[in-house]
Structures are given as C-alpha cells and as structure tokens.
Chains A and B, each alone.
Chain A
Amino acid sequence: MKFKLDKKDFENFLKDLMETYDLFAPVQLTEGVSVFKKIDKPEEVNLTQLVPQKSAKEVFFPQSETMFRYEMSENQSPIVSEQKIGRERVLLGARPCDIEAIFIVEKVFIGEDYTDVYFLEKRKKTTIITLACNHPLTTCFCSSTGGGPFRKDGSDLFMIDLGESYLVELLTEKGLAFSKNRFFKEAGSKEIRLVKELEEKAAKKTDSSIPVEGIEKRLDLMVESPFWDRIHEKCIGCGTCTFLCPTCHCFDITDEATNQKGERVRNWDSCLFPIYSLETSGHNPRPTGRERTRQRLMHKFNYYPKNFGRVACVGCGRCILYCPVQFDVREAILYTSSRRTEGRKGKFK
C-alpha cells in the first residue's frame, strides 16, 4: 500500500505518532553531528544528515543500559530486572544500511541457546520506518555488501523523500496499522514515477566495486600474513569506528553500587582498546595493535560469516568518514582481493 505524506503535515504526523508511541529519530546535536534519540518535541527530528554519527543500533542496544537493580536486605537481595520497556516504539528516519545492521546484530543476540531479552523486548516492540537514500555519499558502499539505498528488507514502513512530500509504503502487519492515518493521502502515478527515477539515480551512486564477495575465504589464508604488521600502524586505538559502527556489538558488564543498593550496567566496549582482552593474571592475548586490528577486521569479514553466513558490514561508511586518522576499510578489503595488490591510493607496504 503506497501513500503520500505532505511535508507540511509531517510535524503534525509526528505529534500524532508520539501520543501512542515513543518516537526515536535522528536529532542534530550540533551542526554536522546527529544521533538517534528519543524525541520530546517533533521539531527535534532532523533528517538532513545521511549518516548520523551514532547509528540506529542505539535504539535496540543503547550505549549504556541498566540490566537489573538490586537492594540487599536482611534476608535476601531482590533483583529487579530492567528488561521491560514502557510503550511501543517507532524508529523513524534510519537508512536501509542501519536496518540491515539490526539484523546482523540480531543474529548474535537472539540465538537458539540464549536470548538477550533486552534486545528482544525492544525489537518486538518497535515499528521501523526506514528512509531511503536519494543521494548516497561516495563513502557509501552498501551495494557491495548486499544492501542498497532503496532496500526495503526489514522495514515496516518505507519512506522516500520526493521534495515536497514523502512517499510512504506499508510493508508489514505493523506497517498496515498506519493504513488509516489521517495524514496519509493517496499516492498518484506522478509520485510513483518520481520514486522510480530517484531509485535509479541512487543505485548508480553507491559503490559496488568493493570486493566483499569471497572475502571470508581470502582471509582464511591470511591469518598470519605480514599484511597485519603494516595495516595497524596508523590506527591509534580509539573506539570511534566500533562505537559508530551499526553492527559492532561488544559490551562490558560492570556493577555500580553504593553500600547496599546498586545496579548491573552494560556499556559498549571496543576490541581496539588495549585492556579489552587483558586477563587478571596480566596476560593479554592481543598485546599490540596488530592483533587487535586483525581481530576487528577478521571478526567482520571472516569469523561472523563463518557463524552466520554473511559479512558483518553494511557499507555505511561511518568508519571511513569519522576515523581520526582516515583508516579506510575499503582499502583493506581491496588489499585482500587477488585482483589488486595495492589499495587505490597507496600501498600497504
């Protein structure tokens, strides 16, 4: 079912939405910096930045989350789990790459053996309204990782910016709940045609040349390659790429307590931090940047595929855009390709 939503109705549409749902959408914190946040006022929603720094994974897997609270008393310490969320949620304005990434994280968190109930609860209660990318950036290589700027998979509703209005397509049962929305008008053939044009234009812009295909097998042969000795040199070991990456999902668990009361909290962690794998005995299986950079790239392009059948990268380009030293994952992938022995711009010597 396809509808048209005029931009002049957009704020009211959001206001309506917020009566029933908790709305999560991109918010501009300062010019050039956007994150996904819970919206208090509809005016906060800002869809101008194609790749917000923090991705939509924040909505299902917050950077900082209380897992349970406890209070020690005479006889026992009742533990109160914090897994339930209040209202149903709507995630609006995430791009297809971020939505693809949710599925990648989901495969780990919702397993056959154990289920991360915190993630599951939010996942079940969220309606996803994805926004298509009319103008992908040159750093976008979603089409190399099996995605695309107009890819609808995983969305409940799919929005396309037509200039003066949005085209909204309802895709799932959750989406159909919006079919009677009072701001949705009938979409005409003009709109449908415009969508097709935009889609074709966008498809040409994303980079499909990055050789992600077959990288798992190529990396199998490279576990001890001297490639790792060089590639890690410029990485300074911060957590920018891991925290901004929509598929990275490592976390740390700590207790925060004062006397008898406290909570167990989980926070995002990064495999690039030196103490990430440091054992109490002092032994660190990944003592230098070489092992840690290898771990990050192998996890994304070799270990995760072995377990789940696809690479854990959606080609969003955040790590390229925001890395302080311009580490470019595309060059690393190219280097592993048998077709090229050097990256496009330089050599990994």
Chain B
Amino acid sequence: MKNPYLPIPMILKKARIETSDRMLRTLELTFRHPEDEEKFRYVPGQFCELSALGKGEAPFGIASSPTEKGSLKFTINKAGLVTTELHRLEEGSEIGIRGPLGNGYPIDLFQGKNLVIIGGGFAFTTLRSLIAYFLHPENRARIKGITVIYGARMPGLLLYKEELLEWEKRDDLRLVTTVDWGDKDWKGKVGLVPNVLEEAAPSAEETYAVICGPPVMIKFTFPKLMALRFPNERIFTSLEKRMKCGIGKCGRCNIGHLYVCKDGPVFSYGQLEKLPKDY
C-alpha cells in the first residue's frame, strides 16, 4: 500500500530570485525518476508539500501549469525554517515532494464562461498556473474572455516579470498590472487593486472571479466584486492555513468540517459563508 507520507525525490534544476527584496525565489524542479513524472497529473490550484529533509515540510501552490511539461515550478517566500532552507539549496540539490494535493480550481465550471483573475503580491503563484493553462492553445478556446488584474506594493515585488510583459502583448487576454507605489522606471498603472478592479469593471454576467491575495487586499476587493454583482457562488479563492500532513489526517487545517488541504484550498465564497470564520 502506498505510503502517502513519503516524499518522492526531485532535482532542483533552476532557481531564480524573483523580487527586488530577495525574499521570493522560484524553484524549477524535475523528477528524478521518470515513472514519478508519468504518474504526476495535476490541475491549476493544487499544491505540493516540499520537503527540505532535516528541516521539515511545507505546502506550496504549484506555479507551473500542467501544460508546461517536464518540470514543476514553485515560488517560495522566505519566512521560516523550511523556506530559508529552500532558499539556501543550490541547483542540483534534491528536494522531496508530496503531491499533487488539494482540489484545484474548478476548471470544468469555467467552460464557456469569462474569467476575471485578481491577484495580489506573492499570492499570485497558483494564478500563474491558471492563466498559463488557459492561454495554452489546447485550452484557450474553452473559455471566453480572460481579464487579469495583478498588483504588488512596488514594481520590484511583481512576480514573473518577463511573463507579464509577454502576456501584456497578447490580444487574447486583458492584463492590467498595477503597483501601490511606482518608481522612476515604472510606466504602468499606479493604484490599489480594489480601485483598479472598479475601473476595469468587468461584467459579472457569465463570469467567474478568482481572487488570491493578502487578507487586507481581499477585505477591500471583495466588496467591489459584490458591487459588480458577482454572486458568491461565482467567486473563488485559494485559502492558506497552517498545514502538516496535507492529506486530511493531522486535523490541523480544518475550517468547520472541511479541511483546507483536502476539500480545498480552493473554495467558493458561497461555501465559506456557511463555515465558521476560522481562517
């Protein structure tokens, strides 16, 4: 019987510091054993538990899209014991992985509809997966309009800057990047995400909204979505909670009777309304 607590080995192929404050590092991992790669099937929004053996394990949303074969990408925020180690490891090191875990974004529900994606700061990781997935030629026709609003505090703190530049040039999606404070090189928009959303005013008709960001951003953006008439069942978010096992056994990440690791991390606001405010 497969032991769900055993990590499979991955190699750190490439590492890149994403932000000017050096706190975010994107890891590109490849599978050590090809048979593991074959068995690994995921959807955007799922996460993995990355093991830095000796230090511990922590959950991270998968930033790469399943359409990007051959490797997995994770963006790590240096904050504690495990993440500091993941920042320290050099290319060629081995990192353990358990996954894919969680429920992922409801891709099937989005079929034939419009999508509004709102991201803030470094919560953008799984949103990158979602966007890359739908921009892929195999999937683009499955949904109609894509609007992306992505904000960070400063230009240096934006993730995936090269990709953002490429996406801006495309005509099959509408991308607005914004910052709270610009700098002398920043030519783009300056403004808080909730206000930019209000300006962009996407129609709520036949549209799903996916929102990921720090609690303060969500607190002010959510009312704007309500004002735009998005019903709770069509607003999705990916929650974070302290996790250990990632498979619904250790009891830690529950919100009411649901587990963020197993029944989430993606929830609709319709679901969250009925649960205790335990997050």
Contacts and interface: CB of A to CB of B under 8 A. Distances in A.
Q: Do A and B bind each other?
A: yes
Interface of A: 67-68, 70, 72, 76-77, 79, 81, 83, 108-109, 111, 113-117, 120, 223, 249-255, 257, 262, 264, 266, 269, 271, 276-281, 283, 285-286, 291, 294-295, 298-299, 302-304, 306-307
A94 B79 CA distance: 45
B4 A303 contact: no
Interface residues of B, number: 39
Given A81-B3, A108-B249, A285-B241, 16 more contacts: A68-B5, A83-B3, A109-B249, A113-B247, A115-B1, A116-B249, A251-B245, A255-B54, A255-B55, A262-B53, A279-B240, A279-B241, A281-B79, A294-B276, A295-B254, A302-B257
A219 to B, nearest CB: 11
A277 B240 CA distance: 11
B254 A299 contact: yes
A20 B271 CA distance: 52
B109 interface: no
Interface in B81-140: 83, 94, 96
Interface string B237-249: 0001110110111
A120 B1 contact: yes
A79 B256 CA distance: 35
Contact of A114 (B240, B248, B257, B277): B248
Contacts of B57: 253, 255, 264
B278 interface: yes
Nearest to B245: A253
Contacts of A271: 251-252
Interface string B1-41: 11111110100000000000000000000001000000000
Given A77-B94, A252-B244, A67 B53 contact: no
Contact of A303 (B1, B3, B83, B256): B256
Contacts of A285: 241, 277-279
Contacts, number: 115
B9 A115 contact: no
B242 A279 contact: yes
Interface of B is mostly: loop
A251 B246 CA distance: 12
A251 B244 contact: yes
Given A271-B251, A281-B79, A286-B278, A115 B56 contact: no
A266 B246 CA distance: 14
A79 B6 contact: yes
B9 A303 contact: no
Contact of A255 (B5, B53, B80): B53
Contact of B262 (A113, A252, A254, A298): A113
Contacts of A278: 242
Nearest to A256: B54
B242 A76 contact: no
6 contacts: A68-B5, A76-B9, A114-B249, A117-B3, A252-B244, A303-B254
B56 A250 contact: no
A277 B242 contact: yes
Interface string B40-79: 0000000000000111110000000000000000000001
Contacts of A306: 256-257
A250 B279 contact: no
Given A81-B3, A285-B278, A298-B276, A250 B242 contact: no
B278 A291 contact: yes
B250 A280 contact: no
